[in-house]
Amino acid sequence: MSQSEDWRAKNVRRMNRFHALRAARAKPALGFVSQPEPKSIGSFARGRQLIGGNFLFAGYLVEAPNASIWDIEAPASGFVEEIHGFAWLDDLAAVGDYNARRRAQDWIRDWMERYARGKGPGWTPDLTGRRLIRWIHHALFFLSGQETEVSNAFYKTLGQQTIFLSRRWQTASPGLPRFEALTGLIYAGLSLVGMEEHVAPAVKALAKECESEIDAEGGIPTRNPEELLEVFTLLTWAAAALSEAGRIAEESHLAAIERIAPTLRALRHSDGGLARFHGGGRGVEGRLDHALASSGNKTPPGQGLHMGFLRLSAGRTSIIVDAAPPPKVEASFNAHASTLAFELTSGRRPLIVNCGAGGSFGPEWRRAGRATPSHSTLGIEGFSSSRLGARKMIGGHLRELLVDVPDDVRLELRGGEDGAGFVAGHNGYAHTHGLTHIRQIELSKDGRGIAGEDTLATITETDERQFDRMMDKLKLQGIPFQVRFHLHPDVDAELDMGGAAVSLALKSGEIWVFRHDGRAKLSLERSVYLEKNRLKPRAAKQVVLSAAAMDYATRVRWTLAKAQETPTTLRDLEMDDETLI
């Protein structure tokens, strides 16, 4: 961290503390005008874990039975941010019994005693907005049986946090942090007596953010599907709160909801989970369907790209492909080198996946998860289609950004009576090897067969000269590359006799068979599946085709075919994705 960056980070913290202290001296809120119905969805299992003293945040588990959540020695900054954001209150409310209520009441009271006067790390606009939403959602859960003194303190700190947000929301980073801050400000202004004056400015500011951050196709600059879901959820909550209070959201706010809904449908696999790209996970269980239902929007996704992703679906099979350059440097520090990678889901079971975001397991896993070999695509050995190199101070953290990203990604859709598909290419290896990766995938009409082709080729004479230089450097031994197909941990994979095919058995009883044209070496290797809120990466496998580019064009063909289908559970007999919300 440079001295100037360190000074800026410290100055932001000082200003947050200054405005929090000023807010503490302002006139407090007097009570609730109205209280929105709880809309945030919690996890019963995680709520039970919290009650038992098992604190799992940001990939770290701290076991502290009978301890206050604020007495825990936090192992990482992400852990601290999660507990100060109070999203865990949803989990305790999901349990809803005496023990859950007691934990919630004790820990909110502890927070008020320790941090209400502007102390601690929770005084940032995005965390304050997240916290206000949860406190208002679950106010009755907390206030039940409380003494007047505690209730008054609760209203006072709600007012304090509202005033802090009204003065500091502009300092939140554009995107999800600012949407969190403004939604929290709208919630508080609508709900609390004496805070009404903050609603109108926040509504206008939120509408302006919708215009600047949500593009014409309903996407966001980070191209993170899970983050798009979080933004969409906040916008629907804010619109609903305004409607319940007899107000109408700004036109650009409502238009953003209309644009995002079909994009999220395009980014959802047939099992209901989101495609895992650019730092995003599958999404909190049930949140996507709940958010889409709450929005009232039923527009299906159109043809072509959605936030840079292409979705193919037929029968019970869905394929989602990253068919655009990674997010720009200034847009995201979670961008992955995943151009032309794909995920495939059959019915309610993921089959082909990407490894996922590894940030919760430490910086090394985070770096590994962003590299091309962690995605189901072609990669030249020792290289990524985008390079990790540049560093930038973002949110008080030194982040590595992608550089040398593909700047020419082309896509052509193909369709016919037999099915649908595409051919696409990117120049991520042109500057190093003179090679363009061209990927073609076709999905059969019944969804039971996929045919793929990956090609490395030179396009121009300049590319040929660069290829020749690299071949000379490698003593004409060829440029080694691999085409990887990472498997979900629940897939049981077995290399057939002779190494000509791989059988892939799903827990549903389905069996898929992977074959290739013999121009590459087929192997079954170890892989990992990186999930948030787990203690360790999950062991998995990957199918790998290995070959070497010897000429100006090298081609590898492969197929995936469903050989058997015997659903074994009610879950696998559920409706396909076309009938979901």
Q: Domain holding 418: CATH number? A: 2.70.98.70
Positive/negative CA dihedral, 314, 502, 486, 411 = negative
329 Cβ neighbours under 8 A, 6+ residues apart: 390, 392, 401, 402, 403
The neighbour count for residue 144, using CB atoms within 10 Å, is 10
Q: What is the pLDDT of residue 417?
A: 80
Contact at 8 Å (CB) between 490 and 548?
A: no
What letter represents residue 356's amino acid?
G
SS3 at position 313: strand
Q: Quote the CA–CA distance of 489 and 539 in Å, as a whole number.
A: 6
pLDDT digits (tens, 9 = 90+) for 14-59: 555 544 544 445 566 567 887 667 888 788 989 999 999 999 998 8
Residue 546 covered by a domain: yes
Cβ burial, residue 161 (10 Å; 0-12/13-18/19+): buried
Phi, psi of 195 (to 5 degrees): -110, 10
Contact at 8 Å (CB) between 273 and 350?
A: yes
Q: Quote the CA–CA distance of 291 and 25 in Å, as a whole number.
A: 38
Q: What is the pLDDT of residue 127?
A: 96
Query: What is the token pair recorded at 443?
Result: 């999905």
DSSP type of residue 500: S
SS3 at position 363: helix
202 Cβ neighbours under 8 A, 6+ residues apart: 166, 169, 182, 185, 186, 189
Which residue in the block uniquely carries the two structure tokens 């990766």? 437
What b/e readout covers 540-560, taking b as 16+ CB neighbours within 10 angstroms?
bbbbbbbbebeeeebbbbbbb
Residue 547 covered by a domain: yes
24 Cβ neighbours under 8 A, 6+ residues apart: 116, 117, 118, 160
- Please tell me the pTM assigned to this model: 0.90
Residue 380 covered by a domain: yes
Helix H or strand E encompassing 522: strand 521-529
Residue 520: half-sphere exposure toward Cβ, Cα within 13 Å: 27
Q: How far is CA 268 from CA 83, 152, 415, 554, 581, in A?
A: 29, 44, 21, 33, 11
pLDDT digits (tens, 9 = 90+) for 388-416: 765 555 544 556 677 778 989 999 999 87
SS3 at position 256: helix
Q: What is the pLDDT of residue 5?
A: 43
Contact at 8 Å (CB) between 329 and 458?
A: no
Residue 405 covered by a domain: yes
Q: What is the pLDDT of residue 21?
A: 47
Q: What is the pLDDT of residue 210?
A: 97
**Residues lower than pLDDT 50 in the chain:** 1-9, 18-19, 21-24, 395-396, 570, 573, 575-580
Instruction: Give the number of residues written for the chain.
Output: 581
Contact at 8 Å (CB) between 165 and 178?
A: no
Residue 259 covered by a domain: no
Residue 496 covered by a domain: yes
Residue 145 covered by a domain: no
Q: Quote the CA–CA distance of 162 and 334 in Å, as a whole number.
A: 30
Domains contained in the chain, number: 1
Q: What is the pLDDT of residue 17?
A: 52
- DSSP calls for 461-487: HHHHHHHHHHHHHTTTS-EEEEEEEEE
Residue 443 covered by a domain: yes
- The domain of 504 spans 372-562
Positive/negative CA dihedral, 8, 12, 13, 19 = positive
Contact at 8 Å (CB) between 83 and 121?
A: no
